[in-house]
Amino acid sequence: MAMVLEQDGRRRGGREARRELRAREVSEDARVVRPGIMGGRFLPLDPRDVLRVHEAALTALATIGFGQPPASTVAALTAAGAEYRDARIFFPRALVEDTVASAARNFTLFGRDRRHDLHPSAHRVHFGTAGAAVHMIDARTGEYRESTLCDLYDIARLVDRLDNVHFYQRSVVPRDIPDPFEMDINTAYACLAGTAKHVGTSFVKGEHLQAALPMFHAIAGSEAAWRAQPFVSLSCCFVVPPMRFADDACSALETAVYAGMPVLLLSAGQAGATAPAALAGALVQTVAECLAGLVYVNALKPGAPALFGPWPFVSDLRTGAMSGGSGEQALLTAACAQMGRFYDLPTGSAAGMTDSKIPDSQAGFEKAYTNVLAGQAGLNLVYESVGMHASLLGSCLESYVIDDDMLGSILRTIKGIEITEATLSLEAMREVCLEGPGHYLGHQQTLDLMQTEYLYPTVSDRTSPKEWKEQGSTDSVARAGTKLRRILSKHYPTHIPPEVDSAIRVMLPIRLDPAQMHPGDGRW
């Protein structure tokens, strides 16, 4: 058996050696899981059916078209080759195909800390947040209360410390800020104050985004620096399903494109309500709507960075209510990933949207299988993957911590099994079986692979029943609460330097109290 020498020359066995190796830090490149692991092994659609969905989407765009286009949208699209008649915009097949062929690919979604840069291409998978929950959930009592700006900031700084959550898109609405302009400005500010990871957010209209741009420029250092590495993307519901433009959102989209800001072209029809009840039909509509958005962006500025964002939701047809944790939702999201790969476009969609109201077993299995299918299908950006409950109506801090553990395990399954001469392990088998003690516990291969082949949870429990009882018989919510308080009581980042923060507060009506952004505020 392989042994490790103590400093005084004594030897110790494999158990202590493994403990020491487990405690060692490893480089980012050597981590078992990391952002951008390649997925794509799960294909819910037959290749012939992918083509049928594509053809149906092109037919819908050419013959059904989009209603309620704003004047600026009509001007941009008709100049690019779209047709405007009977108050609708129609998209000829050649225009759509040419746009897909020339659209931006292989661009970076920047973090302010460049370690957090994302590369949403090929089958690379990244998990992150999103949503517009209006409630926060007490994990122990199940009580719901309205979400606040401070909650948004706390979630951002929590995400800043969660290894398997790769980007932060606004996940709760600050209900304590009723004015839409101030809500948009403060939402962006709270996200940027809390995390150095890439931030996604939305704006009610273009004027709100225009007012926020000087804040982005100030944080970047200049407008030129911002345009070189934009660290905020616009989540834009430019379409009101079925097949209608959203006036204010279109103005935000145009502002973002001209400002050099990546745009998530988000279509969120709900099957059986604002999209066909047939899952295939819901897929066709959302693909068509996102392709229309791609044409729109490239009509404004050819090659502008845009994310293909089909987000079809599912209804429980007994009630009409959204069912984000359903098996149908999991399939639709995976199919959207497959369509994105068919077009070779950077693609984002939603998973992890449990219908459960609290972090319980239902939440666990619904989040797990929806996220697994999305990741295995190679979805580049998996939004809403953590922290959300009640089909996006509620958000729970403990769930972010629990779900981070879940995402680590999911990423490990996506990574798969590496087959090499060394990993086939014939030499290790020969040594153990013919020369060694008959087990691999202290073998050098075991020690070498502890940190690069195996992932260890931080909240999930793997102790024996006896050890579990001795340690207090805690459940996952309690253990998550301990980790949550440890992070939020200490991690008060200064991602916005004080002098820049002061300048922003002069420019804009920032409502986040500075006293709540520094150690010693007493909330945790």
Say whether both 197 and 345 belong to one domain.
yes
- DSSP calls for 347-359: BEEE------SSS
Query: 440: domain range?
Result: 4-30+421-449
Nearest to 351 by CA among 310, 376, 383: 383
pLDDT at 3 (0 to 100): 40
- CA triplet 500, 166, 241: central angle to 5 degrees? 95
Side chain identity, residue 46: D
Q: Residue 439 has which token pair?
A: 């087990």
User: Which residues fall within 8 angstroms of residue 127, CB to CB, at 6 or more apart?
Assistant: 164, 165, 166, 371, 375, 382, 385, 386, 407, 410, 411
Residue 159 belongs to domain with CATH number: 3.20.20.480
Q: In angstroms, rounded to a whole number, what is the distance separating the alpha carbons of residues 122 and 106?
A: 8
Sign of the Cα pseudo-torsion (127, 359, 373, 321, in order): negative
Tell whether 145 is covered by a domain.
Answer: yes
> Is residue 62 included in any domain, yes or no?
no
The answer to whether residues 380 and 289 belong to one domain is yes
Residues near 25 by beta carbon (within 8 Å), at least 6 away in sequence: none
Which parts of the chain have pLDDT scores under 50? 1-12
**Exposure on the CB side of residue 200, measured as CA atoms within 13 A:** 30
**Does 459 reside within a domain?**
no
In the chain, the number of structural domains is 2
Do residue 113 and residue 242 come from a single domain?
yes
The rounded distance, in Å, linking the Cα atoms of 387 and 354 is 9
Would you state the pLDDT for residue 520?
Answer: 83
Phi and psi at 38, nearest 5°, equal -75, 125
Task: Judge whether 394 lies within some domain.
Answer: yes
- Angle, helix 361-376 to helix 327-343, in steps of 10 degrees: 20
Report pTM. Answer: 0.94
> Residue 158: inside a domain, yes or no?
yes
388 and 427 in a common domain: no
For residue 285, the model assigns a pLDDT of 98
Beta bridge partners of 388: 395
19 and 138 assigned to the same domain? no
Element (H, E) at 89: strand 88-90
192 and 289 within one domain:
yes
Judgement on whether residues 391 and 438 belong to the same structural domain of the protein: no
Q: What per-residue confidence (pLDDT) applies to 9?
A: 40
- 429 and 357 belong to one structural domain: no
Q: What number of residues does the chain have?
A: 524
CA–CA separation, 241 and 196 (whole Å): 34
In this structure, the number of other CB atoms found within 10 A of the CB of residue 434 comes to 7
Please indicate, yes or no, if residue 302 is contained in any of the structural domains.
yes
Closest CA to 58 of 308, 284, 240: 284
Q: Are residues 276 and 293 in the same domain?
A: yes
Using omega within 30 degrees of 0 as the cis cutoff, is the peptide bond preceding 302 cis?
no
